[in-house]
Structure 1
Amino acid sequence: MSKAIDIPKSLENEIDLTAAQARSITHSALGETAEQDLRQKLLRLMKEQDAILVSHYYVDEDLQDLAEESGGKVADSLEMARYAYEHEASTIIVAGVKFMAETSKILSPNKRVLLLDKEAECSLDIGCPIDEFSAFCDEHPDRTVVVYANTSAEVKARADWVVTSSIALEICTYLRDRGEKIIWGPDRFLGSYIQKETGADMIMWQGSCIVHEEFKAEALLEMKKQHPDAAVLVHPESPMSVVDLADVVGSTSKILNATRELPNKKFIVATEDGIFHKMKEYSPDKEFIAAPTAGSGATCKSCAQCPWMKMNDLQRLEHVLETGDNEISIEESVRTKAERSLKRMVDFANTHIRPGMKVSGDA
C-alpha cells in the first residue's frame, strides 16, 4: 500500500532558487599560472591546518581533483563522512552541501567540520522541515520512520533508520518481513521505487530533488532511439516513468561503476552532470550523454545541474581556510540520536549483507 500526504505548507510555493542560482555562478576563469598558484596555496593551508578535503561527485571538477591530490576523497555523501571519520586529520572540509557536512559532524563530533558555502542547501533537506515532518510522524506512531541520508541532522534524529539508496531496498524488505509499516521521507520518487520493488506498506513524504525530478521520459525515449547502442543509467530519485526506461537503476556509485563494468561504449546518464568528470576519467574511451531534462522546443535539452552544488569552488575553499567560516555545529542531544539512526544502517549492512561493507550511494 502506498499513500501520500499533502505538500508541506512551507512548500506550497515553489522553492525560490534565485539566490542559489546567483551564488552558484562560479568564479571567473583563472589564468593557468594563477590557478596553479592558488592550488599550491590551498595545499599548503590544508597541511598547516591538518585538514582533509572530501568532495562530492557533483561539485566543480577542480575541487574533485584537489581532494584526491591532497589525500582526500571524492565520493557519495556517506562515504565522504566515513572516510573523514577514519582519517587522522583534525579538520574536515566538505565540498558539497549542508547535510553532507552535518553527516560528517554526526560521525566525527570531536573534529572541526567546515562547509565551503553556508547557503549550499539541498531541496530534499529544505523540503522536509523538522517541525512538519515530526508532526506527521506523530500522527502515525505505529509506523517505523525511515529517512534518506539527504536530510538535516534533526530529521535524522527523529528517524528510526537513516538509509542510502544503495541499501534502502534491503532495509525496507527487512522491515516489511518483520511486519513493520513505514513512513518514508523525503524523496517521493525514491520512496515509490522502493515501494514498488518491495511491496512494503509505506506512507510517502512529498519531497523531491530539483535536479532528478526534471528528467523527462518522452524525451529520453526519443534519445534512446537516436542512440540504440547506449545503456541508460538512472538514479531512483527520478520519476518512475524515467526509471522504467533504465538499463541500470541505482545510487551514484552504482551508476559510476556501471560505466566501467558494462560493455557498452555509450551511456545516457540521468543524474547531476558533475558525475561526468569521474566517468570520463575512468573510461576515456567511452561516450557519456546527459539525459534530457526538457521537452520539445526547450533551449536547454539537458540541464541537470544542482545550483547548490555549483556554489563550491576553489575561491570559497580559500576563504574558508583563511577565515574558518562556516563551521558546522550540532546540538549534542540531536547528534547522538542522529548517530544512532545512521549506525543502525551500518550495523544492518555488517550483519545482514556482508561484514565490513561500506554503505554509500546517496545523492
Structure 2
Amino acid sequence: MTASVTQRIDLAPTRSCNPELAAGPWAFDSQPGYGPGASQADPMPSPVTHPGQLPQAYREMSSDQLHDRIRRAKAILAERLVILGHFYQRDEVVQHADFLGDSYQLAKAALSKPEAEHIVFCGVHFMAETADILSAADQQVILPNLAAGCSMADMADEDSVETAWEEICEVYGVDPHHVTPGPDGKLPILPVTYMNSSAALKAFCGQHGGIVCTSSNASAVLEWAFERAHRVLFFPDQHLGRNTAKAMGVPLEQMPLWNPRRPLGGNNPADLQEAKVLLWHGFCSVHKRFNVRQIAKARAEHPGCRVIVHPESPMPVVDAADAAGSTDAIRKYVAASSPGDVIAIGTEINLVNRLAAEYPDRTIFCLDPVICPCSTMYRIHPGYLAWVLEELVEGRTPNQISVSADVAQPARVALDRMLAAVPR
C-alpha cells in the first residue's frame, strides 16, 4: 500500500468553510498547548515547538524547498523512518507517505515496520497515540503538529464516560468496577469505543471487557460484542453506532441517545433495560454537514448518479444514499465503477478530490457545495513535516507522542481485539 504521488487539487470550489486552511496552518495554531482532540493529560514533549511556533524559516520556505528538504531527510533516515498518512491529509503531505490508508489500515501499518526507529504519523492525535501503543518500546511516534486533533474525540472524555458507566451499571444492578456475566454467560453491558477517542478511553474499554472499532470493522466489532453482552455502550460517534447497528437489525427504539450532560443520559431506567446500543452524544463536524437535500440535488442535476457516504453521516443521509462505507470502502466503490459513471460522495474533501484526480474518466464530486476539509487534519503541513524530519536527522525527537504504560497496557488489549475483528 505504498503511497504514490498524486496531482494536487486545490480547494477550487468558489465557496469554502475557510479557504485559508489551504495555506500554512500556523495562523490557526496561535495558542500554546494541544489542539482539539488531544489528550489533556499528556505532558508537553521536550524539546517542544508549540503549535503556532514552527520555526520561522520553515514558514517562509517555498513549496519546492520544503519538498526537497523532506525528500533529503527521508533519504538520510532511510529504513529508520516510516511515514504514515491518512486518506484525509492534503496531497502535499500524502505524496511523502510510505503508507496511505484509513485508521484501521494505518493501525496495522504501524505494526508492519518493526525496524523503523521513527514513526511519523500524518494524521491526528488519537491515531498517533494508537501507533505508540501498538509499536515496539524502542520506536518513537511523532505527530508533526501537536494541534492536529479531533473534535469528535473531545466529545467523550474519561471522566464523563466513567460517570456514565457508573450510572448505567447502577440501573443494571452490577458493580461498575467488576461487571460479571449473568446466568446465560453474557455481560449486561460492554463498552465499545470508536478509534476516534483518547488512549484513556481505549484503556477503559480494555479494562471492562470492551473493544475498539473503526468505520471499516464496526459491524464485525458489534457482532463480537453481542456474542458477549446483551448491550453495548458505543462512544463517541452516535451516527456510526446507529447506522451500523440499524444495518444489523437493531430497532431504533433500542438505541437510546446518551447525553452526558443529563441524568441517566436523558433516559429513564425502563428504556435502558430495553436498550441494545446506548449511543453517546457525539459526532463528526464534517460528516454531520451532509443532508438529504444535497443527495436530492445531486440526483436532479445528474440523473443516474450514484451516491456513497461515510457512516459517520446522519442516518437519513445513509438511508438515502446508494451505499455507505469507510474511507477505504469509498475508495474501493469508486475503483469498481466504470468510465462515464457519476458518483457523488459524502466525506472529507481531500479524499474526494484525490479520487476525482485518479479517475478523470468519471464525474466525481462532493455532496457538500461548501467545501469543509477536516481543519485539524489540515494542520499537518509540509512545513511541519520538513521540520520534524530534519530534527530527527540531527538526533532530536520533536513532538513525540508517548502513552504511559498504565494506559497503554489495557488499551492494547482493546486494540488487539479490534485488529482481530476482521471486516467482511
Q: TM-score, normalised by structure 1?
A: 0.81
**Which amino acid in 1 is paired with 2:308?**
L
Larger Rg: 2
Tell me the secondary structure at the aligned position of residue 86 of structure 1.
coil
Larger mean Cα displacement after TM superposition, 87-96 or 203-212: 87-96
Q: Which runs of 4+ in 1 moved over 3 A?
A: 21-25, 33-37
Offset of 1:308 from its aligned partner? 0.3
Structure 2 partner of 1:310: 378
The alignment status of 1:340 with 2:399, answered yes or no, reads no
Which residue, out of 235, 251, 254, partners 2:329?
254
Aligned to 2:234: 184
SS at match of 1:180: coil
Show CA shifts across 1:54-87 (max 9, x none).
Answer: 11111110111121xxxx1111123123213211
Cα distance in structure 2, aligned partners of 1:22 and 1:245: 30
- Matching residue of 1:106: 133
**Per-residue Cα deviation, 1:97-152 (whole angstroms, up to 9, x for no partner):** 10111111010042111111101111111111111112212323431001111111
Q: 1:195-214: per-residue Cα shift (whole Å, max 9, x none)?
A: 21224400111110000011
Tell me the alpha carbon deviations over residues 168-203 of structure 1, each in whole angstroms, 9 at most, x when there is no partner.
112213433555210001101111112212244001
What is aligned with 1:357? none
Alignment match, 1:133 = 161
1:348 Cα deviation after fit: 3.4
Q: Distance in 2 between matches of 1:311 and 1:203?
A: 33
Q: Which residue type is aligned with residue 185 of structure 1?
A: F
Contact 1:62 1:314 in 2 (8 A): yes
Q: 1:175 aligns with which of 225, 230, 252?
A: 225
Q: Is the 8 A contact 1:78 1:103 kept in 2?
A: no
C-alpha change, 1:262 and 1:23, in structure 2 (3 Å) is: closer
Q: Could you tell which deviates more after superposition, 45-54 or 336-345? A: 45-54
The aligned residue for residue 360 of structure 1 is none
Q: Does 1:213 pair with 2:288?
A: yes
8 A Cα contact 2:103 2:214, kept in partner: no
Judging changes above 3 Å, is the alpha-carbon distance between structure 1 residues 47 and 134 closer, same or farther for their aligned structure 2 residues? farther
Q: Distance between the aligned counterparts of 1:260 and 1:25, measured in 2?
A: 27
Q: Which residue of 2 aligns with 1:298?
A: none
Q: Does residue 61 of the first structure (1) align with residue 91 of the second (2)?
A: yes
CA distance in 2, matches of 1:274, 1:79: 18
Supply the distance in 1 between the matched residues of 2:189 and 2:19 (Cα, whole angstroms). 41
Which 10-residue stretch deviates more, 39-48 or 104-113? 39-48
Equivalent residues of 1:23, 1:311 under 8 A apart: no
In the alignment, what sits opposite 1:154? 200
Aligned partners of 1:98 and 1:115 also within 8 Å: yes
Aligned positions, number: 317
- Is contact 1:26–1:311 with CA below 8 Å preserved after alignment? no
- Taking the aligned partners of 2:371 and 2:127, their CA distance within structure 1 comes to 23
Q: Is the 8 A contact 1:61 1:277 kept in 2?
A: no
Deviates more, 1:205-214 or 1:255-264: 255-264
Of residues 30, 48, 55, the one that matches 2:76 is 48
What are the Cα deviations for residues 150-177 of structure 1, in whole angstroms up to 9, with x where unaligned? 1111111111100111221122134335
* d(CA) in 1 for partners of 2:143, 2:228: 39
Specify the SS of the correspondent of 1:276: helix
> 1:306 is matched by which residue type in structure 2?
C
Counterpart of 1:9 in structure 2 is none
Counting aligned pairs with the same residue, the percent is 29
SS for the counterpart of 1:94 is strand
Q: Is the contact between residue 191 and residue 233 of structure 2 (CA under 8 Å) also seen in structure 1?
A: yes
**Structure 2 alignment gaps of length 5 or more:** 1-17, 26-57, 170-187, 251-275, 392-396
- Structure-1 separation of matches of 2:421 and 2:69: 42
Q: C-alpha deviations, 1:285-333, integer Å up to 9, x for none?
A: 11211112xxxxxxxx332311101111110111222343211011111
**1:92 counterpart = 2:89:** no
**Counterpart Cα distance in 2 of 1:162 and 1:226:** 40
Residue 193 (1) aligns with residue 243 (2):
yes
Give the distance between the partners of 1:147 and 1:57, measured in 2 at CA. Answer: 21
SS in 2 for 1:244: helix
Q: Which ranges in structure 1 are unaligned for 5 or more consecutive residues?
A: 1-20, 293-300, 355-363
Q: What does residue range 63-82 of structure 1 map to in structure 2 within 5 Å? A: 63-67=93-97, 72-82=98-108
Residue by residue over 1:261-299, the C-alpha shift from the partner in whole angstroms, topping out at 9 and shown as x without a partner, is 13362110100011024313542311211112xxxxxxx
Structure 2: distance between partners of 1:175 and 1:77: 20
Q: Residue 300 of structure 2: which of 225, 248, 267 is its match?
A: 225
For residues 8-57 of structure 1, give each alpha carbon's deviation from its aligned partner in whole angstroms, at most 9, with x where no partner exists. Answer: xxxxxxxxxxxxx79945239x9xx9433432321222343422111111
Distance 1:23 1:157, change over 3 A: farther
